[in-house]
Structure formats: C-alpha cells, structure tokens
C-alpha cells in the first residue's frame, strides 16, 4: 500500500438532487466523469461540498460506489466517512475500503467539543478496523475543534493516519505543521483562497471544489509550482482568485451548483433547507466566470 497516495489537485464533487430532493446518481456520475477527464489528480466524494452530513447511510453508500465505479481506477479516490459517533465512522470507513476507495478522510466532528484523548481514541478505533490510509482533517469552523500540532503529531503515530488536511485558513498553521511534524509531512490545503500561499509553503495537494468550474486554472497553478515558476504561479493564481473567494463566501454547494448550471452541465437541485443562490448572486458568478474564460490561455 502506498501510504501517501494523493497529491496535486484533489477534486470534490457536489451531490446533486432531483426535484423530489432524492440523490441524482446519474448526474453525479456525469459530474465525476468531467472531473476525471479535466485532469484532476484525485476524486473526493462525500466532503463538505458533497453535503455529507445531510445524507443518510444508504445515500452515502450509493455515492461511494458510484464514484469508484465511475473513476474506475484512473485516479485515486478519497472518500469522506466522518460521523459524530465512532461506531458509524468505522462502519462507513469499512464500507469505503470494501468498495475500493484509495483512502478515507475523517474530520473529528464535535457537537460536544472533544478532548485530545477522545480524538486520538476515535482515529485509533477507526484505524484498527481498516487498512487504507486516513487523511485527518483539521477545520475548526466546521468541526468545532482546532487540532494542535501536538495532537496531529499523536495522530500521525496511528498506523493508517498518514495525511493531514488543514483548513483553518491561516497559512502560518501550515508553516508550523512543517516545522513541528517534519519536512516530509504530507499536508494538504483545504482553504481555496490560500491555494498559492499553501503551495508556496510546501503543500502536497489542494483539496478543492473549484475543478467543477475552472479545472484548467487549478491544475495550471499546481503545474507552475511544480515547475518552480513563482511568477507564473502568481499570475495564474490571481486569474482565479475572484472565483475562489466567491465560492467560499457563498458556500461551496450553492455556488458550485450554480456554476455547473451556468456551464450547461447541470448542478442538480438542493435538499432543504439549503436553497440555490439568488438571481443576483448567480449574475455575479456568471460575470466572474466570463471574465476568467475571456482571459484563460494558461
């Protein structure tokens, strides 16, 4: 097993619904296919973008299977299996492994703020039940708990925990990760507006929903960094900065689905209480996408 099977642009699909608010698997597969064909380096269903917490168990299973079937081994898959209870997290992690996922992503969901020991035991319990790599995900805004570098160091000693996704939105945290956890730590950036700063800081990859809308620019940024061409990377980053800021400000599912509609792919409907962007916001997004399209020759 490759312990660190992910790098580059890790693309997060949305979860489309039909007009009865049921998951639309055929549209989902079409969206996944686009992500693979446009050059994404990995596919990550059931993340925040994929509204994981709004889905029931059988929907999660269907989306896991649909992803792996559609990707068909062309690139790695990273399946979100986070759950408030340890028991359900193990259940979904085992399901993902059996279905053929390359790795699983786990955030320590915390309605009640977890202690460091509780978090270690949670990851440890899951790790002992699977044999594929785990990406530990730090996003205090979502999980309610901010994992210190001391805690992350403990997590990395658990056999399958080999990767860290960092989404505090503060590039200094990435510097600290690398200083504290060693130069070779595999950390991934989950904050879109930090894409350039994170790659400059040495991130292995970028976890992002943006390839649903502007895959060429996302991948070109990564390539410029790999080519050690900072000037080009900066130029490419600023071309997409408005879009990255917009999708974060408006919420990833809402803005990515609106963008997919604008691009003619179809984003699918929402599950209540989530609703589409307003007409005004859609017009703003259209304008950002048009400006980018007009200027893209990367």
Q: Which residues of the chain form contacts with a second copy (CB under 8 A)?
A: 21, 48, 51, 53-54, 84-87, 108, 111-115, 117-119, 121-122, 125, 142, 169-172, 175-176, 178-179, 183, 193-194, 196-197, 200-202, 225, 228-231, 233-234, 237-238, 241-242, 245, 251-254, 271-275
CB 1 → a second copy: shortest distance, Å?
26
> How distant, in Å, are the alpha carbons of 15, 144, 157, 243 from that of 251?
14, 18, 34, 12
User: H/E element holding 164?
Assistant: strand 161-166
CB 69 → a second copy: shortest distance, Å?
26
28 versus 91: smaller Cβ distance to a second copy: 91
CB 96 → a second copy: shortest distance, Å?
19
CB 118 → a second copy: shortest distance, Å?
5
Tokens of 237: 């980053």
Tokens of 81: 């299996």
231 versus 297: smaller Cβ distance to a second copy: 231
> How distant, in Å, are the alpha carbons of 69, 179, 244, 277, 291 from that of 202?
32, 11, 20, 34, 30
CB 225 → a second copy: shortest distance, Å?
7
Question: Within a 13 Å sphere around the CA of 64, how many CA atoms are in the beta-carbon half?
Answer: 27
Tokens of 139: 């996003």
The Cα–Cα gap between 51 and 31 comes to 15
30 versus 178: smaller Cβ distance to a second copy: 178
197 versus 263: smaller Cβ distance to a second copy: 197
96 versus 109: smaller Cβ distance to a second copy: 109
What SS3 state is found at 12? coil
The Cα–Cα gap between 263 and 258 comes to 9
Cβ distance 151 to 116 under 8 Å? Answer: yes
71 versus 203: smaller Cβ distance to a second copy: 203
70 versus 212: smaller Cβ distance to a second copy: 212
CB 197 → a second copy: shortest distance, Å?
4
CB 37 → a second copy: shortest distance, Å?
28
- Name the region of 223 (left: φ>0; alpha: ψ -120 to 50; beta: rest): alpha
């Amino acid at each position: 097993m490759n312990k660190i099977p992910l790098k580059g642009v890790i693309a997060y699909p949305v979860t489309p619904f039909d007009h009865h608010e049921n998951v639309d698997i055929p549209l989902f597969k079409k969206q996944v296919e686009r992500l693979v064909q446009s050059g994404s380096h990995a596919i990550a269903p059931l993340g925040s973008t994929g509204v994981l917490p709004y889905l029931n168990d059988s929907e999660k299973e269907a989306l896991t299977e649909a992803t792996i079937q559609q990707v068909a081994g062309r690139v790695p898959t990273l399946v979100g299996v986070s759950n408030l209870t340890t028991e359900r997290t193990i259940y979904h992690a085992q399901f993902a492994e059996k279905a053929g996922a390359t790795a699983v992503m786990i955030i320590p969901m915390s309605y009640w703020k977890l202690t460091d020991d509780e978090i270690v035991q949670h990851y440890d319990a899951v790790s002992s039940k699977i044999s594929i790599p785990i990406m530990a995900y730090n996003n205090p805004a979502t999980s309610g708990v901010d994992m210190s570098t001391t805690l992350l160091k403990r997590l990395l000693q658990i056999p399958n925990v080999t990767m860290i996704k960092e989404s505090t939105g503060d590039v200094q945290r990435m510097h600290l990760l690398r200083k504290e956890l060693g130069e070779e730590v595999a950390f991934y950036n989950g904050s879109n507006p930090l894409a350039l700063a994170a790659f400059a800081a040495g991130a292995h990859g970028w976890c992002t929903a943006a390839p649903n809308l502007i895959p060429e620019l996302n991948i070109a940024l990564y390539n410029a960094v790999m080519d050690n061409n900072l000037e080009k990377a900066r130029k490419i980053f600023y071309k997409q900065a408005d879009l990255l800021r917009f999708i974060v400000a408006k919420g990833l599912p809402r803005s990515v689905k609106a963008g997919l509609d604008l691009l003619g792919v179809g984003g699918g409907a929402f599950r209540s209480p989530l609703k589409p962007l307003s007409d005004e916001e859609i017009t703003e997004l259209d304008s950002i996408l048009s400006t980018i399209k007009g200027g893209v020759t990367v």
